Amino acid sequence: MAADMKFAKTHEWIRPEAGGLATVGISAYAVEALTDLVFMQLPAVGRKVKAGESIGEIESVKAVSDMYAPVSGEIVEVNTALPGQLETLGKDPYGAGWIVRIRPDDQAEMGTLLDQAAYDALVKS
């Protein structure tokens, strides 16, 4: 796992990419906790979002959960293949299971998120 990956308390991960972009997904812990995923709704490309704003829904057999933008920015790409093969989230949550790419308004905002150790401590508590 990339050392520069950060996590939101709401279980999204974000990883900086070349060209000032960042990739966002949901953590393996969250996928494991949800289980039995049946539906995902992605945001529109071009949408401007604020940190903490809902960028879509993920639904399991038991419940619907929102997915939140870990930082403010513009949605520049969405993983359109993912809703049709949600099992990818379980197999490769930090790779092929990516959800959106975002152009952060402020790269420094990622620094306010949890690092891997802090996130691991959060979900184990």
Q: Which residues bind another protein (CB under 8 A)?
A: 35-36, 38-39, 57, 59, 61-62, 64
To another protein, the closest distance from the beta carbon of 46 in angstroms equals 20
Label residue 25 exposed, middle or buried (CB < 10 Å: 0-12, 13-18, 19+). buried
To another protein, the closest distance from the beta carbon of 87 in angstroms equals 11
To another protein, the closest distance from the beta carbon of 15 in angstroms equals 28
| Closest to another protein by CB, 64 or 118 | 64
Amino acid, res. 120: D
Of all helices (H) and strands (E), which one includes residue 15? strand 12-16
| Closest to another protein by CB, 38 or 118 | 38
| Closest to another protein by CB, 17 or 36 | 36
Compute CA distances 63 → 36, 43, 57, 77, whole Å: 10, 19, 10, 26
DSSP state of 19: G
